[in-house]
Structure formats: structure tokens, C-alpha cells
Amino acid sequence: MAVSKKQDLRARLAAMPKVELHRHLEGSLRLATLLEVGRAHGVDVPLADAEALRPLVQVTYTGGDLSQFLSKFPILRKFYQSPEVIARFTREAVADAAAENIRYMELRFNPVALASTRGYTLTEVCDWVSTAAQAAAREHKMQVELIITVNRMEPQRRQEMLQVALDFSGRGVVAMDLAGDEVNFPPDPYVPLFQEARAAGLQITAHAGEGTSAESVRSAIELLGAQRIGHGARVVDDVNVMALARERGVAFEVCLTSNIQTSVAASIKDHPVRQMIKHGLAVSLNTDDPGVQNTSLTDDFVNAHQDLGMDIPALERVVLRGAEHAFISVARRAQLVADLQNEFDLLSGSR
């Protein structure tokens, strides 16, 4: 039977080399693994089958908001039951990315989230994640760096988070991120922390312009020193903030499916990413939380192609823009961009 045009498109986009700058470890857990871990460790959630567990850890509805989306993560914390489990989650997240031909990924995680269930230290969980990520990267012949995420709703251990990020800067940690409920928790209390992180040599990214206005993007850039913005869809509401982002060379980690599931946009067709690109903003496409969303980066590339009219060359440019803003050295970025461009040229020649 002949392969349909849709199947052929998906196969081509699945084969495309990709870059992922915004993927949360805690949102990348396989449902089957959660069932297995939950049963083995007696986690107190419905575990009769996948469909019993699914609505607790995945988005299964339409028209939700950021608060509903974030409600999945306290439940996921129940599953961080041992060093072996945390390492397994990390290995599988890298393996799943490699299966999508993601050549370079920055995997972010919140050490407090991983440590809290069993009372581990932040150093312990960072060791387990770093070791597993580096081993999986070697196994799958891809590059993986790590970002420490600070949750806006958990300020108590923020200084400890900075210290552990610095301690592991030689073991894959390249940046710090501010995430969580931006509606009710503004960034102001975290300004000194992120200024200190930047001064110590860490890169800075921050969730902004997702649940609130373009003003939160301005705050992330001016107050936190963010070099990249997670989501940032609402930046299009203010031409002055867009100008600021262009002038500062700030890149945007756009997450299409995530933004639909949190009602940042009503549909893929309504997503402002085309406006962002039209106004000269540096944009990459990312998943955010593929396990929670029950989606993949390839899905978002397919959606961008079909619903936003982004052809293959346009999607390749998005991948390259992501590579250009990776939190690695200038030399490594240049090599990554060159390697990707070479692959694109080879694929173009075979089309």
C-alpha cells in the first residue's frame, strides 16, 4: 500500500536533525515506566492500568490553563522513589530524544522536586541525573547539557539551588531557569539569585510571557538577565518588548502543543510564533513536557508545517536558530551549526 503524503511528511520530519532547548525531565516520563515504578514502590495513585493513571499525569482535556497543567507535577513527584528510578527516568528521556534525531538537547530539572519525596540532598539527585545523562548521551551519540530549574513557588532553597548548579557546572550544568506559576509569583524575589548566577558564569533562561503579559518578558530580560525566554508567546503584544529582545539578542524557546494545552493560544493556527519570526525574534521549537503532553517534538514540527505553513527550509532555519543560541561555547555552537547545516544539505540533495 502506498505511503500517504501525511505519513511521508511525518517520516521526513522525524528524520530531520533537531535541537531541543526546552524540555523538563520531570515532564518527560514514560507512562509505562510510571506504572512499573508505581507498582514496584507502592505509590499511592491509581495503578490498575495506563488509563487509570493517565488523567493524573497527562493532559487529557481541552481548554485547560497553566494551573491545571502544573497540577500534574505534584503527582509526578510521588514517583521519585530511588536513585535507580531517577537515573532511569533520565536515561529514558535522553533515549526518547535521540529516537527523534535530536542531536543536541538541554534537559532541565528541579533538584528539589526530585529530592523531596525521599529526603535526598540536592547534591545526590544532581549526581544521579548528571551521571545518567552523560552516559545516555554517549550511548546515543548526542550532546546533552543540563539546566537547573528554580520553582517560583519554592523560594526556601533557592541559594542552595545556585550552589549546586555551580558545583555541577563541570558536569553538564550550563544554566539556571526560573519556572512555575508566573501569574501569582513574580520574579522580584529571585533577582539577586539570578544576578549572582550570571556573575558566576552560568547562563540564564526564564519562563515568561506564558501565563501573563509581555511585561513579564521585559522583567525576565531586564531584571533576571535572561538570555533566552521559555515560551514568551505574549511578547507580540508589545512592540517595545520585542525591540528589547532583538537588541539584547534574546532567543525564545517556543513550545506549541504546551501553549495550546495551557490556553496561551486557542489552536496551533492561532499561535503567535509566526509574528515572532516576522518581527525578527530568534525562535526555536521545543516540546516542554512531552510525557505530560503525550506528544513529541516531531509532532510539533508536523503541526508547524501543516497549521502554520512552515515548509521544510523554514523548519531547518528554526533548528539552526536553536543551535545558535545553545548554552555552550562559541566554538561548540559553531561546530553544532555546521554539522546540522551539513546534514540539511545532504537531506536536501536526497529529496
Look up 210 and say whether it is catalytic.
yes
Cell numbers describing residue 161: 539551588
Q: What is the rounded (10 degree) CA torsion for 107, 224, 200, 177?
A: -10
Q: H or E element: which one contains 21? A: strand 18-24
* SS3 of residue 202 by DSSP: coil
CA pair distance 152, 189, nearest whole angstrom: 9
CA pair distance 33, 44, nearest whole angstrom: 15
168: closest CA among 126, 202, 110, 122? 126
Which residue is catalytic, options 26, 145, 182, 210?
A: 210
Q: Measuring CA to CA, how many Å separate 245 from each of 34, 148, 219, 221, 252?
A: 39, 23, 11, 8, 9
Active site residues per annotation = 210
